[in-house]
Structure 1
Amino acid sequence: MLVGYVSDENDVAIADVAVELTGPDGVPVSCRSSASGRIDADVAPGRYDVVLARDGYGPKRTTAVAGAGPVRFRLLGERTYGFLWPKEVTSGSTAEIRVSCPRPYRLSLWRYGAGREHVAPLGVGEHEPGATAVPLPDGDVAGSGVDWSPGEFPGQRVVAPERGGLYFVHVDDDRGGFHGLPWIVSPSAPTAPVAVLASDLTWTAYNSFGGRSNYLNPAGLPPAPAVSRRQDLAFYAEPERGEWEDEHYPPLSLRRPDPDQSIPLGEDVDGPTTTRPGAHLAAADWRLLAWLERQGYGYDLYAESRLDRGEVPLDAYRVLVLGCHPEYWTYGMFRQVRDWVHAGGRLLHLGGNGLNCEVELLGDDRLLVHNGDTRKLGPGDGPDWSRFTARREPEAALLGVGYDQRGLLTAAPYEVVSPSHWAFEGTGVAAGSLFGERSLNGRILGGASGHETDKLSPHSPPGTTLLARGVNAGGGGAHLVHVPALGRGEVVSTGSIAYVMSLLADDVVSALTRNVLDRFLAEW
């Protein structure tokens, strides 16, 4: 009988797993998984106690019902994973440090601002040898989440510092291994005129821990795990198929590790990003926060999910800054920011592919993504290739720009279009000058206009001014725009994910951004 399949945390099949099934009669039946992770055993239908073990993975005990459909057994590879819960808090709040590590480990708290700043040691893992690794649940881990060691020991908890910002808990094992767990700390009351949103909803949409994200198996886990990802994943096996051609997509849990956010210890904020996801996720946000602190701007950091709950007091701030990739927003967030801008707020959008898709935060800490069938959006090189526009209203009506797929995964400098605009004051540029040539983007080389780019749209507000455009081939360059009057408010959008990666490297990008912030703050 086919009992099920066994796969790892990435839903890749594991061959030659030793499996032992024990039914009500107490007699164990042993078998091994095949090359495809398939588990076949000579057993009758019913409930069994199951033991699974293989070198390189954490062994575990579980229970399963044979004969009711293939069971998706999961084993965790022998590497460090973890997360804090909650992943975002206010100063003075307590979070649990949930870690699975195959080795003894120690913990420490660091703040990622102008540089890496050691805040405090947090002790060692409070578990016996061999008990520091925690089994992975079976089934759709990306949807169910994991509840690892929820705070059994005082040493596995941490109190948020008074000073807000982006923090990481470092997990260092006794053989030199390292893993960083991000933690967003917001103030208990506003402390500065500038609020910055960390894109935790986008982080969740890209998080494929468990074998599924909004990009990897977005419509759900396949019936059997992958053997060769290059051959079995849909966007390799069916290149003619778009990413989102379904109407509904299963939710993604926030309560799980997000290894893409860990920033290698050898990566410095003044150097290039060293991982594939770093150029548009937490490592990029770190560059933005470092620039703000070095330029002397005080700011309060908030998670997008906190804004969705109505817990960001926008009226207390003059400027709201969006980072490099705020792609996934709830409609409630959109309405709050739109109304705040119309009432006089200043919005500085330093990213690209912004507000492109509506999501919902469900009550069980899961994210529901409303991609829809994107074939209905038309060709990707048309204006406003936007899931948000199709479902709600145009984000370009707020940001001044909207996304299309031209320029995808390219990068180039910007070309000045409106040199007399106040944003370029003191930069010395002229019409046609290039800027944004220098960048810390270690993934997509070429300049500040790139990765994914937004352009002027038929829905851009009247009076929207094009300040500069990226010189990416085929019309793929970002449009850097100023919306001078949106109600009583004002907006500047850079139109590019890659822009933030030039803040610490390119003098004109830095000066332009400073001009915008100074102008926005001076008008308060």
Structure 2
Amino acid sequence: MIPLIGYADRLSGRPGDTIGFKVSSAGGEPFTASLVRIVCSDPNPAGPGILEEQVPADFAGEYPSRVQPLKPGSWGRSDGTLDLDGARGLRLSALIWPTRTDEVSDRQTVLAWGPVALDLAPGGLLEARVGDTVVQAHGKLHGRHWYSAWMSLSADGRTLSVGADPLGHGGEAPRAASAPMEALPGLAPAPVTVAAEAWEGDTRHVFNGKIEAPAIHADADGAEAALALRWDFAREMSSTRIVDTGPKGLHGQLFNYPARAMTGASWTGEEMCWRHAPGQYGAIHFHDDDLYDAGWETDFSFTIPEDLPSGIYAARIACGAHEDAIPFFVAPPRGERRARLCVLVSTFTYAIYGNHARPDFVPAWKARFEAWNAYPWNPAEHPEYGLSTYNYHSDRSGICHGSHLRPLMNLKPGYLTFGYGEGSGLRHFPADTHLIAWLHAKGIDYDIVTDRELHEEGGAAIAGYKAVVTGTHPEYHTRETLDALQTYRDTGGRLIYLGGNGFYWRIAVHPENPDILEIRRGEGGIRAWAAEPGEYYNAFDGAYGGLWRRSGRPPQMLAGIGFSAQGQFEASYYRRRIGPDAPPSAAWIFEGVDDEIIGNFGLSAGGAAGFELDRADVRLGSPEDIEVVASSEAHGSTFVLVPEEQLTHITTWPGEPWQKLIRADMAYFRAPGGGEVFATGSITFCGSLPHNGFENNVSRVLENVMRRFLRD
């Protein structure tokens, strides 16, 4: 594990809220903690560098070091114990869809009760265990196929049997096997567990794959088998509860948020929404690497003072030669505006990308990390902290849940996403601090509001601000956050969208724990993985997941522009499309700017227009009177259209040549109700702001927009 690392139990708060900090320190001496305000988190020596201001805090001081454990793996357990006193014989059964049958060296538990367990042994062999007696079925189970699996203990307690029947695919059934019991262990009351065994607060033998309808039957005094427990995973689908439909009502709890609303053994393909046919979605997909809440104990806390300015802060910790920072965002008191400008921080996107282990990471990148004294750790080398929704589970199923309740390496000051190319290689939080540093350099006061407040408080969170500005990549949104932004814009608000690939994916917030987010990568879009057929609807809220475009809300409807193309972390420039004689409605954007080429420089890939690009399209919701004041050009060969824009190998959705669609449009329009929108359409735009001490044509364009939008 990383020698010193930590996280906060919340990413944002208002005065009066308390934030708990959880630290794992392997040092033999105490670690120290202090508070800083973050201005810039780019370690590139060619830019402003890491800029932080010390802030007094009551938690500053020393704390004992301790190593806090990581306990990955999702599973379930009954709330109470199952008592089968007097039973004669026993049967455990479940429908299973295993996903790791060959490449694991440990057994995987399907269902367990005390010393009794139905397992999947290495090599895909189904096995039964009662105490020290083990019997394996003859023939392996195949991955990604459904089986009805069972084990039984005879009524006289002398014979242990196990077997499985294939469902629906016509494969050869593993032959059942039996073995004599040497001694029957005591079957005392015990909890029932599914997808893992649990002993003395720890879990082991976690199952990978889907499980449906786990049940336990018992023979009572020689009578016919009687149902003792049957968990129906199709019930209370959006919760972490598991419901027992048996006579004892032995309900249970899920741990580490396995994926629910999964197609089960009876799914026919006739219904794609679990709400319409819940009985066909009675499976839960468990993984041995699910980790969304590390559950660490709190080392110190901070109650946000009333007089602390809104901004980005971090608890800085140090122990010996090791350092870490735990960022958090401070919003103003609820209902109070301390500045005219609101910076909307995309914490949902940060969490969805949390611990993204890039597939193109190579250790050679670390030479740049070391030379710049950048953040030294990378998720590609430390997957034990749980990966992002841009990665796969160990069984190659896509990760559909994200959370900040664990250390997130890419949410650290100085973290470099890329170790190649021009500029700093920043994304997300560190890249967004280019805007924060610019605001400080220009003396523009601001409040911070995150999409968490926007989701929970709606339009009230941003009402009254003269302007709302986004960061570089506001990609992931709930219906509530989009509604709030739409209402703000259409009631006279002024929106400044400084990113690319924004307002793109629909996510859901867990109804029991708002720190857990869900993404279903359904049909369409540039996807790190593709959801299984029939699994496009969120379990958390029952809504159709995937692109907002496929739910009738393309980004163009809000910001005037939307995702069009993506390439490697490379950037180009904009060429002005309006000259000095342009209509006065748009000419003010370039006041004091004589250049035709805008942003052929910058700390993000060397230019203001790069990596992910948005363009205007009236058919997707761009206003008829939108003014595209500049467009990018000269993008490299790595840039491609996003899949939803490419119909065939020779045709595109807009009907234009694909070459014309690979561009970022810088645009302006007036919205209903007197609102205004300025959008740049590029993830790398903010990286050009610090160039030449914040004095450049990109900076001037933004300052023109900002000063106008902040006017009375």
- TM-score, normalised to structure 2, is 0.52
Deviation track 1:358-381 (CA, whole Å, cap 9, x = no partner) reads 11111312001132132799xxxx
How far 1:142 sits from its partner (Å)? 5.0
Q: Distance in 2 between matches of 1:283 and 1:423?
A: 30
Q: Cα gap change, 1:170/1:142 in structure 2, threshold over 3 Å: closer, same or farther?
A: farther
Q: 1:503·1:509 contact (CA, 8 Å) conserved in 2? A: yes
**SS in structure 1 at match of 2:352:** helix
Matching residue within 65, 72, 76 for 1:138: 72
Pairs within 5 Å for 1:276-425: 276=425, 279-310=426-457, 312-362=460-510, 363-364=512-513, 365-374=515-524, 387-419=547-579, 420=582, 421-425=586-590
Q: 2:14·2:330 contact (CA, 8 Å) conserved in 1? A: yes
- 2:391 corresponds to which residue? 216
- 2:15 corresponds to which residue? 91
Matching residue within 97, 120, 138 for 2:56: 120
Q: Cα gap change, 1:91/1:82 in structure 2, threshold over 3 Å: closer, same or farther?
A: same
Deviation track 1:49-84 (CA, whole Å, cap 9, x = no partner) reads xxxxxxxxxxxxxxxxxxxxxxxxxxxx14222111
- 1:510 corresponds to which residue? 699
Note if 1:168 corresponds to 2:314: yes
How far 1:260 sits from its partner (Å)? 0.8
**SS in structure 1 at match of 2:671:** strand
Q: Distance in 1 between matches of 2:555 and 2:548?
A: 7
Q: 1:326·1:354 contact (CA, 8 Å) conserved in 2? A: yes
Matching residue within 671, 679, 683 for 1:485: 671
Note if 1:519 corresponds to 2:663: no
**SS in structure 1 at match of 2:463:** helix
Q: Distance in 1 between matches of 2:680 and 2:429?
A: 19
- 1:62 corresponds to which residue? none
Q: Distance in 2 between matches of 1:249 and 1:212?
A: 8
How far 1:399 sits from its partner (Å)? 0.5
Q: Distance in 2 between matches of 1:376 and 1:113?
A: 32
**SS in structure 1 at match of 2:329:** strand
Q: Cα gap change, 1:159/1:375 in structure 2, threshold over 3 Å: closer, same or farther?
A: closer
Q: Cα gap change, 1:304/1:265 in structure 2, threshold over 3 Å: closer, same or farther?
A: closer
- 2:216 corresponds to which residue? none
Q: Distance in 2 between matches of 1:346 and 1:466?
A: 17
Q: Distance in 2 between matches of 1:392 and 1:142?
A: 32
How far 1:293 sits from its partner (Å)? 2.0
Greater displacement, 90-99 / 366-375? 366-375
Q: Cα gap change, 1:486/1:509 in structure 2, threshold over 3 Å: closer, same or farther?
A: farther
Greater displacement, 118-127 / 474-483? 118-127
Note if 1:100 corresponds to 2:24: yes
Q: 2:490·2:675 contact (CA, 8 Å) conserved in 1? A: yes
Q: Distance in 1 between matches of 2:441 and 2:612?
A: 27
- 2:4 corresponds to which residue? 80
Q: Distance in 1 between matches of 2:401 and 2:566?
A: 29
Greater Rg over alpha carbons, structure: 2
- 2:608 corresponds to which residue? 448
**SS in structure 1 at match of 2:457:** coil
Amino acid at match of 2:394: P
Q: Cα gap change, 1:352/1:192 in structure 2, threshold over 3 Å: closer, same or farther?
A: same
Count of aligned residue pairs for this structure pair: 394
- CA RMSD, Structure 1 to Structure 2 (Å): 2.6
Q: Cα gap change, 1:142/1:290 in structure 2, threshold over 3 Å: closer, same or farther?
A: farther
Structure 1 segments unaligned to the other structure (5+ residues):
1-76, 224-233, 235-245, 267-271, 378-385
Greater displacement, 208-217 / 298-307? 208-217
Q: Cα gap change, 1:393/1:424 in structure 2, threshold over 3 Å: closer, same or farther?
A: closer
- TM-score, normalised to structure 1, is 0.70
Q: Distance in 1 between matches of 2:415 and 2:517?
A: 30
**SS in structure 1 at match of 2:707:** helix
Q: 1:413·1:436 contact (CA, 8 Å) conserved in 2? A: yes
- 1:434 corresponds to which residue? 597
Q: 1:469·1:478 contact (CA, 8 Å) conserved in 2? A: yes
**SS in structure 1 at match of 2:70:** coil
Q: 1:479·1:494 contact (CA, 8 Å) conserved in 2? A: yes
**SS in structure 2 at match of 1:519:** helix
How far 1:212 sits from its partner (Å)? 2.7
Aligned identity (percent) is: 25
Q: Distance in 1 between matches of 2:327 and 2:423?
A: 16
Q: 2:19·2:302 contact (CA, 8 Å) conserved in 1? A: yes
Q: Distance in 1 between matches of 2:408 and 2:292?
A: 14
Q: Distance in 1 between matches of 2:710 and 2:292?
A: 44
Q: 1:408·1:453 contact (CA, 8 Å) conserved in 2? A: no
Amino acid at match of 1:254: H
**SS in structure 1 at match of 2:565:** coil
Note if 1:466 corresponds to 2:628: yes
Q: 1:413·1:470 contact (CA, 8 Å) conserved in 2? A: yes
Q: Cα gap change, 1:335/1:78 in structure 2, threshold over 3 Å: closer, same or farther?
A: closer
Q: Distance in 1 between matches of 2:399 and 2:70?
A: 23
How far 1:138 sits from its partner (Å)? 2.9
Amino acid at match of 2:597: L
Deviation track 1:236-256 (CA, whole Å, cap 9, x = no partner) reads xxxxxxxxxx9x863222311
Deviation track 1:385-428 (CA, whole Å, cap 9, x = no partner) reads x8111124112011111102344533011111113333444333
- 2:195 corresponds to which residue? none
Structure 2 segments unaligned to the other structure (5+ residues):
41-50, 75-288, 356-382, 417-421, 528-545, 636-658
